């Protein structure tokens, strides 16, 4: 069960969470403004109401997780989102990250491989507020060739390697933010497609995501 009451208490806790993210080094005020406007507790079972604004990942359907707010802010900041960017997200999960990207003014194409999670989005209360998000049930390793090329690609599951088909779906100058690594820890990478078609790579901090798995489930 979920509860859709956004009380003063929730709003106050959300504001405190934004201060925590600032303290941890998130400096893009636009991102913090967008996150401050999205009731994160709507994405969680009401059993998590008291902790929804702690800077932690929490379980959602099918053993998956809603990413930690710091991770969402960090990935969004690395992606350098601009208004009207066409963004491909792999791993819709709760849909929270997709709505942060939409709140930044991007057009979002998000793929989820778990049918149950995908189906939950049909009736989710915040869906109508973000008409610029398109939801797909599929395998993120394949991307969305018929909607390519993209300005940005965001992977929100632990990738065992950089998916070659996703690189092919990026524009020149496009960026991909992707946590790469098997096991418990992944290194956050930012890739940029250069004018000659080659790809440059920057390395950032370590994170811990649920695995990116090939094929659909359900
Ligand atoms: N962005 C999400 C984070 C979800 S966790 C959020 O804001 O809540 C990662 C999600 O990636 C899980 O829901 C998992 O099912 C999904 N996933 C894993 N491998 C995938 C793949 N190959 N294609 C699409 N989704 C995938």
Tokens of 74: 């960090």
Decide if 33 is inside a domain. no
Tokens of 92: 């819709």
Best of 66, 70, 93 to mutate for ligand 1, by most ligand atoms within 8 A of CB? Answer: 93
Decide if 46 is inside a domain. no
Q: Is the pLDDT of residue 198 over 90?
A: yes
Tell me the pLDDT tens digit for each residue of 18-72: 999 999 999 999 999 999 999 999 999 999 999 999 999 999 998 899 999 999 9
Count Cβ neighbours within 10 Å for each residue of 160-191 and write b for 16 or more, e otherwise. beebeebbebbeeebbbbbbbbeeeebebbbb
Q: How confident is the model at residue 218 (pLDDT cuts 50, 70, 90)?
A: confident
107 close to ligand 1 (CB < 6 Angstrom)? no
| Residue 118 CA, ligand 1 centroid: distance in Å | 10
Decide if 171 is inside a domain. yes
Q: What are the backbone dihedrals phi and psi of residue 32, each rounded to the nearest 5 degrees, phi first?
A: -65, -35
Decide if 40 is inside a domain. no
Decide if 88 is inside a domain. yes
Q: Give me the pLDDT at residue 55, please.
A: 98
Pairing of strands 58-59, 65-66: antiparallel
- CA-nearest residue, atom 4 of ligand 1: 93
Decide if 135 is inside a domain. yes
| Residue 112 CA, ligand 1 centroid: distance in Å | 6
Q: What is the C-alpha separation between 22 and 19, in angstroms, rounded?
A: 5
Atom of ligand 1 nearest to the CA of 117: 13
- CA-nearest residue, atom 19 of ligand 1: 212
| Residue 91 CA, ligand 1 centroid: distance in Å | 3
152 close to ligand 1 (CB < 6 Angstrom)? no
Q: How confident is the model at residue 3 (pLDDT cuts 50, 70, 90)?
A: confident
Q: Is the pLDDT of residue 1 over 90?
A: no
Question: Residue 189: which CATH number?
Answer: 3.40.50.150
Number of domains in the chain: 1
Q: What is the C-alpha separation between 64 and 128, in angstroms, rounded?
A: 24
Decide if 179 is inside a domain. yes
Q: Is 67 a catalytic residue?
A: yes
- CA-nearest residue, atom 11 of ligand 1: 91
Decide if 15 is inside a domain. no
Range of the domain at 81: 59-207
Tell me the pLDDT tens digit for each residue of 96-135: 999 999 999 999 999 999 999 999 999 999 999 999 999 9
């Amino acid at each position: 069960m979920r509860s859709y009451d956004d009380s003063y208490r929730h709003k106050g806790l959300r504001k405190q969470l934004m201060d925590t993210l600032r303290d941890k080094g998130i400096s893009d005020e636009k991102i913090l403004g967008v996150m401050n406007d999205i009731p994160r507790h709507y994405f969680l079972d009401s059993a998590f109401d008291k902790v929804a604004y702690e800077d932690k990942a929490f379980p959602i359907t099918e053993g998956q997780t809603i990413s930690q707010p710091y991770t969402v802010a960090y990935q969004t900041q690395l992606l350098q989102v601009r208004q009207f960017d066409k963004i491909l997200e792999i791993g819709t999960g709760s849909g929270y990250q997709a709505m942060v990207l939409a709140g930044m003014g991007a057009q979002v194409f998000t793929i989820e491989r778990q049918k149950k999670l995908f189906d939950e989005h049909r009736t989710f209360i915040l869906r109508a507020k973000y008409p610029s998000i398109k939801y797909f049930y599929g395998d993120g390793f394949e991307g969305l060739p018929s909607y390519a090329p993209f300005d940005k690609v965001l992977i929100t599951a632990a990738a065992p390697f950089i998916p070659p088909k996703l690189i092919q779906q990026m524009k020149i100058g496009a960026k991909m933010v992707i946590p790469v690594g098997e096991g418990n820890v992944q290194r956050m990478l930012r890739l940029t497609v250069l004018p000659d078609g080659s790809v440059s790579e920057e390395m950032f901090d370590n994170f811990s995501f649920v695995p990116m798995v090939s094929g659909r489930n359900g």
